[in-house]
Structure 1
Amino acid sequence: MIKNIIDRLSSKQKTSIVMTYDVVLISLTFLISFQLRLNQFFLERELFLNVLKQIIVIIPIQLICFYIMGLYKGIWRYSSTADLSRIVRGVTLSIPFSFLLLFIFNRLEFTPRSIFFIQWALLIIGIGGGRFAYRLYRDSLLEKGNKNYKRTRKTLIIGAGYAAQLLIRDIKSDVRSDINIVGLLDDDINKRGKILHGFKVLGAVSDVSQLAKRHNITEVIIAIPSATKDELTHMISYFSGTNIKVKTIPKLGDIISGKVQITKLRKVTPSDLLGRDQVKLNMNSVSSMITNEVIFVTGAGGSIGSELAIQIEKLKPAKLICIDISELNLYNLGFRFEKVKSDTKIDYVIADIKDKSRLDVLFQKYRPNILFHAAAYKHVPMMELNPFEAIKVNVFGTKNLVEISKKYQLEKFVLISTDKAVNPTNVMGTTKRIAEMICQHAQVGSRTIFNMVRFGNVLGSSGSVIPRFQKQIEQGGPVTVTHPDIIRYFMSIPEAAQLVIQAGSLGKGGEIFVLDMGDPVKIYDLAKQMITLAGLNIGEDIEIKFTGLRPGEKLFEELLTDTEVTKPTVHERVKVAKEERVQASLEEKLKKLLNKDEMLCIRKILQEIVPEYKIPESQIDKDKSFF
């Protein structure tokens, strides 16, 4: 009854009630202070009237001090030690001001100095006690509500720190939650057996399998927002064979800032296990390159291109021109930008980089300063089946952009390349290596600075292994891995985009920048981790099937050729590779790729241009059937 009445009150009405409570408390504590000091329950009439006058004087100043210290901003039902600290500070601030005001009012006539110390203690007890008593009342109602509501998800919480405290408190306060907390796990031996908000620390993380069987656990929540990828991977290894779904809380910074509630749980993703600390950019160099400039991004609707556009917009260019051949991709990018309040003029342009005249019109219209070239065909097996399309886009699309850039004296051209361009065994990687060579060749005698940025796979990009695994797991399997020993480098899309911008700002002309990809990841291990995170058992719930290497696929990728040497740059995650000068005959060899009479031996021509290209024997005879 009382709860329903209180819940219907507005915030201002509730604050008025709290202030009324404090007014009554200030009056009573001041009067009681006199009674205790003089050891008299009934004060003489003249003294009593004098006390009432002083109460009228101190009420406003003490309320103002309470307001300044934030006593009316907290929510009583969530009163905590932080609220108690504010109460102590607010009361402590109010006492000397009350003393000073009464001294001005009546020179503290008939007022013992010690009553201010007595009132200080009484106010802290009264204000703090009132707020915490209300919290106890609300908690008792929640406890009663929880008993009436069926909580079906038996859950263990990993971590017994501050984040776990917040999580448990919010779960208990949400009567509609179906999370049934069984206990906590923590590797800190000093916390074993301790009680946190009514729940016991049952053991270490390594005990999860045993406890899961004993208590029929269906879910684990990792409440350690500061956990590193290595720590998360170590934890996940204990869940194999348990059929437990694994979730985690949001980042602590987002919780504290109020962006999300701590109970907004999410699944642990491969990005959590493979991602790295946020990139720290050299803001002076990237800002000087981007701010107040006209920026082109080709392939702006793709995984890397769209993230590049998002990151570039934050650096406040004068104009951002997002170019893509896909109407849908540009529409989706525009939808992302709708959520951002930006002063930058953003244009979305549908164009094909194979159309040189269209590119000329765009350069003439916008006069760009910087171009980030992310448009490319990137899927290895598909380009093995369609080699000439890869050549038209990755080679001649790049060549068109390079020539137009030189014509309009573009300041800087940044090519997004790939680790598959190193000692390639497929058409896609070879065409990207040729794109690098075109840029290196164009640098000679050019005022435009041409730079290339080479990196590996990005987490969650379209068509990559992680989305494919996720879809296969959702469909019940099997999860297909090409080879048990295949490894790949991974980095997050935001990290890749940020490092591309950083590398672009460092280039002086003709360099190939190589991004630090961290340690390579075994794809078979990644598949096992993703199955475990989904709460499934390998062999029982879902199978892993080895399908064999696909055409043009390598067991491992490289970031440098045999002739390249890396040098450090001012950024720890960006290295620069300098290799031999590109042969002068490049232009003549490129013409062969357009000669219809040469199409039947297209891979041989690619090998002429990139001698390190290893043609799979199975592909040599297949080309005839495609042309």
Structure 2
Amino acid sequence: MTKKFEASGPAAALDEKKPPLWIWIQLFLDSASWVVAIILALLLRYEMGIREEQLVSATIIMGVAVVVQALAGYALALYRGRYPFGSFQEAKALVFVTVIVAASITLSLLVLYEAIGIGRSVGLIAFPFACLFMGAARYAKRLYVEGKNRPGDGAQNTLIYGAGFLGNSLLTRMLQEADSPYFPVGLIDDDPTKKHLRLSGVQVLGRGDDLPAVIRRTRATVLVLAFSHVEASVVRRISDAVTGLNIRVLVLPPLRDMLGGGAPKGFSDFRDVAVEDLIGRRPVDIKVDEIAGYIKGKRVLVTGAGGSIGSELCRQITQFSPAELIMLDHDETGLQHTQISITGRGLLAGRDTVLANIRDAAALQEIFEDRRPEVVFHAAALKHAPLLQQYPIEAWKTNVLGTLNVLRAAGRTGVSHFVNISTDKAANPTTALGHSKRVAEKLTAWMARQTGRKFVSVRFGNVMGSRGSMLPLFTEQIRVGGPVTVTDPEITRFFMTIPEACQLVIQAGAIGRGGEVLILDMGEPVKILDVAERMIAMSGKEIEIIYTGLRPGEKLHEELVGTGELDERPLHPKISHTQARVQDPAGLNLEAWLARVEAEQGIDIASIPDDEADEPGGNIRVAS
């Protein structure tokens, strides 16, 4: 039986260090380029009249060129695999090496001119020919490799919208990966100067207005938006232009998301256009890294950590190196999901997760005394407005008394920063949800006055993708074939993304002054009917929209700043500061609060003086 032995020891180590075959081939081609270039230089220098002895002498110059090319090329890593083949980086290194070789030839001819009888200008004449030949060899190699690796027949015809740096990078990637699911058949760009531009042989075929014609001509089935920042208005315009053309529109996530999730996922980073892209929210210009110093090295507690806002808060807080993150919720499944998203494990066995209900004042006090948090983000709340309208006492128990329990525990244990997460429905409230959150703002302001610490509230509108928002509801209604329910054709709402909302919440803990309510400028309100129609169009289904009418206490248009509240922006152009009125817990009265919730459904809240509209136990005047 024959045994096979593998090389080991020093011999194997030497073998592993041998240059690959393609490097020897490249060095041979570069050497041949200099030989041919020097012959051509001699023919031009002596007008095709080369003597035999000059050819013999030329071999000395050729030898100098080959040796210097090898040494300089190795020194500059041209033959060590440092540069991608056919790249600009390799071209720069190649030119530099060629200049060194040409200078060496010229210096040799100056010294040996009388001995070999060859003109000193031969090196200078040979230089451009050598550059041309070596560059041509590399370009031919690049064309061969790219042609060999092009996507197969199963790849989908793809248009790339954007012929800039990102578009060119995507195009190169699609062409060089043999298993790419996308084959680029054209580029789209709105810049008129790029009308006839070609990138890697793929031409700019038109502008955005030409999309329908280009799609039909190229039979493209995929359109990739190669923008670093996709404006919602642009996405809407493109989406409208390709409606009915049976083409899939893909976008790229922000670069920080692509690089922040571990190993690159390749073309799986592409995703379909979502309704969030169509609604659009420009990120608020907040320097989170600069203002989140109050979190670093501190014990931070988040209530409602299993919810949409609470879980995102926890994920963002971990980026600022808190001494300890305490995630509190009464939803054990939600806590597990949050823990998995942060640590990759959902064992629920550590001290980072705490199972408790904010309605339980005694349990909260015990937890705060044991863990001694220094910063608290209060995200726990009931938030489904129609359900709370039917069961307002539940809103009172959680949003009012539960918040008071958290505030009292925080006040007694020396919490320095407390951020209460509120809602736009607390501005001129007309629902049980709005009234309960309004009282929570006032209780927070009361505790700020009692402690002299930074106890603030943050108010914002609907959060896209959160549990209880309309977008998941519309998605499910479309999935089952409809109908899609809209309360009123004219109803509007403010929208923001979950990360944006949480950035604001974190910033509030730094810039807010005790007792304030911070309100984000959320831009223009979005018409709900437009959102429903776009989601139906994206689904490609024929689905009916029915109008159910406004529910008790529901506003046609939400507000962010209530009657009598100031809209001051002393620290940030997108963040308003207003001072919440103080509510002493001793004055809380459930019966009076329930009466107000019932009486103020559907009335003109602006007709009620501010000192009567929100104060439990005060008089109520119903508009006639």
TM over 0.5, shorter chain: yes
The alpha carbon displacement at 1:43 in A equals 6.1
Q: In the alignment, which residue of structure 2 is the partner of 1:624? A: none
The alpha carbon displacement at 1:138 in A equals 3.7
Q: Is the 8 A contact 1:35 1:42 kept in 2?
A: no
| Partner residue of 1:27 out of 31, 36, 39 | 31
Residues 26-425 of structure 1: pairs in structure 2 closer than 5 A: 26-39=30-43, 48=59, 52=63, 55-56=66-67, 58-67=69-78, 72-76=81-85, 79=86, 83=87, 85-95=88-98, 109=112, 114=121, 116-118=123-125, 120-141=127-148, 146=152, 149=153, 156-173=159-176, 183-189=186-192, 203-209=206-212, 219-242=222-245, 244-251=247-254, 259=264, 261=266, 264-283=269-288, 286-338=291-343, 347-425=352-430
Query: Aligned to 1:567, what secondary structure does the other structure show?
Result: coil
Q: Normalising by the residue count of structure 1, what TM-score does the alignment of the two structures yield?
A: 0.80
Q: In the alignment, which residue of structure 2 is the partner of 1:574? A: 575
Q: Give the distance between the partners of 1:118 and 1:213, measured in 2 at CA.
A: 52
* Residues 279/316 of structure 1: CA separation in 2 closer, same or farther (3 Å cut): farther
Report the identity percentage.
Answer: 34
The alpha carbon displacement at 1:423 in A equals 1.4
* Residues 334/107 of structure 1: CA separation in 2 closer, same or farther (3 Å cut): farther
Q: Give the distance between the partners of 1:330 and 1:14, measured in 2 at CA.
A: 55
- For the pair 1:587 / 2:585, whether they are aligned, the reply is yes
Q: Give the distance between the partners of 1:327 and 1:479, measured in 2 at CA.
A: 32
The one-letter code matched in structure 2 to 1:542 is: I
Deviations 1:363-386 (A, max 9, x none): 222221111111111111121222
Q: In the alignment, which residue of structure 2 is the partner of 1:620? A: none
**Structure 2 spans left out of the alignment, 5+ residues:** 1-15, 44-49, 602-607, 617-624
The one-letter code matched in structure 2 to 1:18 is: W
Deviates more, 1:505-514 or 1:13-22: 13-22
Task: Between the two structures, name the one with larger relative contact order (CA 8 Å, sep ≥ 6).
Answer: 1
Query: Aligned to 2:465, what secondary structure does the other structure show?
Result: coil
Q: Give the distance between the partners of 1:31 and 1:217, measured in 2 at CA.
A: 49
The alpha carbon displacement at 1:496 in A equals 0.9
Deviates more, 1:411-420 or 1:237-246: 237-246
Deviates more, 1:26-35 or 1:480-489: 26-35
Query: Aligned to 1:557, what secondary structure does the other structure show?
Result: coil
Deviates more, 1:372-381 or 1:383-392: 383-392
Q: Is the 8 A contact 2:279 2:531 kept in 1?
A: no
The one-letter code matched in structure 2 to 1:423 is: N
* Residues 281/114 of structure 1: CA separation in 2 closer, same or farther (3 Å cut): farther
Query: Aligned to 2:134, what secondary structure does the other structure show?
Result: helix
| Partner residue of 2:488 out of 461, 483, 486 | 483
- For the pair 1:508 / 2:509, whether they are aligned, the reply is no
The alpha carbon displacement at 1:300 in A equals 1.3
The alpha carbon displacement at 1:15 in A equals 6.8
| Partner residue of 1:16 out of 11, 14, 20 | 20
Alignment RMSD, CA only?
3.9
Query: Aligned to 2:451, what secondary structure does the other structure show?
Result: coil
Query: Aligned to 1:458, what secondary structure does the other structure show?
Result: strand
Deviations 1:52-96 (A, max 9, x none): 3674455123222144xx9824554xx4xxx1x323321233246
Q: Give the distance between the partners of 1:65 and 1:530, measured in 2 at CA.
A: 56
Query: Aligned to 1:551, what secondary structure does the other structure show?
Result: coil
Q: Is the 8 A contact 1:254 1:260 kept in 2?
A: no
Q: Is the 8 A contact 1:185 1:203 kept in 2?
A: yes
The one-letter code matched in structure 2 to 1:25 is: L
Query: Aligned to 1:444, what secondary structure does the other structure show?
Result: helix
The alpha carbon displacement at 1:308 in A equals 1.2
The alpha carbon displacement at 1:354 in A equals 1.5
Q: Is the 8 A contact 1:87 1:128 kept in 2?
A: no
Q: Is the 8 A contact 1:95 1:120 kept in 2?
A: yes
Deviations 1:568-619 (A, max 9, x none): 132222110125x435xx43442x33x8xx898584699999943699xxxx
Query: Aligned to 2:452, what secondary structure does the other structure show?
Result: coil
Q: Give the distance between the partners of 2:42 and 2:246, measured in 1 at CA.
A: 71
Q: In the alignment, which residue of structure 1 is the partner of 2:469? A: 464
Q: Give the distance between the partners of 2:292 and 2:229, measured in 1 at CA.
A: 30
Deviations 1:202-236 (A, max 9, x none): 55434545666787765543334444222222222
Q: Is the 8 A contact 1:58 1:101 kept in 2?
A: no
The alpha carbon displacement at 1:22 in A equals 3.0
The one-letter code matched in structure 2 to 1:338 is: T
Query: Aligned to 2:455, what secondary structure does the other structure show?
Result: strand
The one-letter code matched in structure 1 to 2:470 is: V
Q: Normalising by the residue count of structure 2, what TM-score does the alignment of the two structures yield?
A: 0.80
Q: In the alignment, which residue of structure 2 is the partner of 1:522? A: 527
The one-letter code matched in structure 1 to 2:21 is: I
**Structure 1 spans left out of the alignment, 5+ residues:** 1-11, 616-627
Q: In the alignment, which residue of structure 2 is the partner of 1:564? A: 565
Deviations 1:471-521 (A, max 9, x none): 222222222211111100011111111111112201221111111111100
